[in-house]
């Protein structure tokens, strides 16, 4: 059954957003970029690549910035890790949407976008089928949390995302589902991004929600946001490497 899911997977490309400063992990990130922080003996970006490779996603575009040369040195062209990697260096900050727009000539078919500081396990083949059936422009993988006050929470109408509520108290939250930092994009959405600095969360997603083309895919498995040292410690204790 698993093999059938893998063979049905069509998406071959992914963009990893690895240009962040990782300020809440300083002094560690003074010397290495956040994507090279390790959990259970592997860098965060290796964990992401493990998931992508599992589903046949091997054409990887990495947006780099802060200490990006160290990511290039570590991963090279990706051949040692079973993928092909191209790098796009942000000489000036472009934001999470702006850097994707700068790669648009490579992205002529559906593609995944992943935050470089989140690690997770989910069924990418199932997510793609959900995206196709929904006729979505962007599908966001949604993770369930107990404490909504630490995250941006989604309000859903069916599977459509209506809006995001930033860090609500539990009793005021419209759901307990949050943006996991893992997305599936249809290439048409790139026409909605303007050149220059722009953010997915503030500039693109609200427009998509208003047009009814932003969907949420709920998943179970594992998800860890390596946002600060306490979350890094939690991931080190609880993360289970992919077999």
Marked catalytic residue, from 10, 40, 144, 167: 167
Provide the pLDDT for residue 1: 32
Residue 16: pLDDT band (50, 70, 90) is very high
What domains are there in the chain, each with its CATH number? 2-238 (3.90.550.10)
Contact 85, 78 (CB under 8 A): yes
116-155 residue pLDDT tens: 889 999 999 999 999 999 999 999 999 998 888 878 889 9
Contact 68, 36 (CB under 8 A): no
Provide the pLDDT for residue 190: 93
Residue 25 pLDDT > 70, yes or no? no
Provide the pLDDT for residue 132: 92
71-110 residue pLDDT tens: 999 999 999 999 999 999 877 788 889 889 988 999 999 9
Which position has the higher pLDDT, 6 or 116?
116
Provide the pLDDT for residue 243: 66
Residue 170 pLDDT > 60, yes or no? yes
CA atoms within 13 A on the CB side of 43: 16
Provide the pLDDT for residue 21: 67
Tell me, yes or no, if 167 is annotated catalytic: yes
Maximum distance among all Cα pairs of the chain, rounded to whole angstroms: 49
Contacts of 31 (CB under 8 A, 6+ apart): 67
Which residue carries 């048409």 as its tokens? 188
How many H helices and E strands in the chain?
8, 13
Q: What string of DSSP letters covers 140-191?
A: EEEEE-S-GGGSEEEEEETTEEEEEEES--GGG-S-SEEEEEEEEE-GGGGG
Residue 69: pLDDT band (50, 70, 90) is confident
């Amino acid at each position: 059954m698993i093999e059938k899911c893998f063979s049905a997977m069509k998406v071959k490309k992914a963009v990893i957003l690895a240009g962040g400063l990782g300020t809440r992990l300083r002094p560690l990130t003074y010397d290495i970029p956040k994507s090279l922080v390790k959990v259970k003996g592997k860098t965060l970006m290796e964990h992401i690549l493990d998931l992508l490779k599992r589903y046949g996603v091997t054409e990887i575009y990495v947006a780099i910035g802060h200490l990006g040369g160290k990511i290039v040195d570590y991963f090279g062209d990706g051949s040692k890790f079973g993928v092909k990697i191209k790098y796009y260096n942000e000489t000036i900050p472009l934001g999470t949407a702006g850097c994707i727009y700068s790669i648009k000539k490579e992205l002529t078919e559906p593609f995944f976008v992943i935050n470089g500081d989140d690690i997770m396990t989910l069924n990418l083949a199932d997510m793609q089928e959900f995206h196709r059936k929904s006729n979505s422009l962007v599908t966001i993988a949604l993770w369930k949390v107990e404490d909504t006050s630490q995250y941006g929470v989604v309000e859903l109408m069916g599977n459509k995302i209506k809006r995001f509520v930033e860090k609500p108290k539990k009793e005021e939250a419209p759901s307990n589902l949050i943006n996991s930092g893992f997305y599936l994009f249809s290439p048409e959405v790139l026409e909605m991004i303007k050149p220059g600095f722009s953010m997915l969360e503030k500039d693109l997603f609200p427009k998509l929600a208003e047009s009814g083309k932003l969907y949420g895919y709920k998943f179970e498995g594992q998800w860890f946001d390596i946002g600060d040292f306490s979350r890094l410690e939690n991931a080190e204790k609880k993360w289970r490497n992919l077999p």
